[in-house]
Amino acid sequence: MRQNRRVIRRLRIPGGSFGELVVIVALAIGFALIFQAEIAKPYEIPSGSMEPTLDIGQRVMVNRLAYRFGDPSVGDIIVFHPPAGASSDRCGAPHRPRTACAAPTPQESDVNFIKRVVAGPGDRLSVVKGHPVVNGVKAKEPFIKPCGNAPGCNLPRAITIPPNDYFVMGDNRGNSDDSRFWGPVPRDWIIGQTMFSYWPPDRIGFF
């Protein structure tokens, strides 16, 4: 009895092994670009505003899909585009003394910032000794650096976070340029959530 034989033909690429290598490299680069654009992106910490949680030069991976089907939560560390006014601490709304900025300027900046979400849409927020007081409850944050007497450490007059906006602060409360000075971040400007640190080796871990 004759048996059917399946003939497997190898795809031949012009140029032999060199051509195969070019195709493999091109596919790898394409996959990496799609991965960074749609799924996850590495990010290097540029300043000390998130110390002691994140050090200058530390590298983290940001999940770009984190908020595709859900909203940011208080405590999330996010990467986002700040408002254009952030470069000069310009608030987008009338700014009374001893009050956090209640609204950003309307234009989105093209730079990336990384901060922690401390309040969400509709929350009432004030700041006491660097800690956010949200809806009358002072946050417990043993992980932050003490604020001291730096600007923005005490903002006792409460503001209301606008719909679809998130108020962010750095963990280094006395040395962080954040929502206290240039306002909450619109949800559409959020790039993703920080998933884990992969460099240096002694800081590897999930958040």
Task: Fill in the DSSP letter of residue 41.
Answer: E
pLDDT for 13 equals 52
pLDDT for 20 equals 63
Measured distance CA(80)–CA(163) in Å, rounded: 17
Q: Is 126 helix (H, G, I), strand (E, B) or coil?
A: strand
Residue 122's nearest CA partner among 178, 187, 48 is 187
pLDDT for 35 equals 43
In one-letter notation, the amino acid at residue 87 is S
Asked if CATH classification 2.10.109.10 holds for the domain at 45-206, the reply, yes or no, is yes
In one-letter notation, the amino acid at residue 95 is H
**Is 17 known to be catalytic?**
no
Task: Fill in the DSSP letter of residue 83.
Answer: B
CA 53 remoteness from chain centre: 14
- Which CA distances in Å does 154 have to 10, 127, 173, 198? 70, 5, 11, 35
Q: Which of 17, 47, 49, 179 is catalytic?
A: 49
Per-residue pLDDT of the chain in tens (207 residues, 90 and over written 9): 455 555 444 445 555 576 565 445 444 444 444 444 456 789 999 999 999 999 999 999 999 999 988 999 999 999 999 999 898 999 999 888 999 999 999 999 999 999 999 999 999 999 999 999 999 999 999 999 999 889 899 999 999 999 999 999 999 999 999 999 999 999 999 999 999 999 999 999 998
In one-letter notation, the amino acid at residue 77 is I
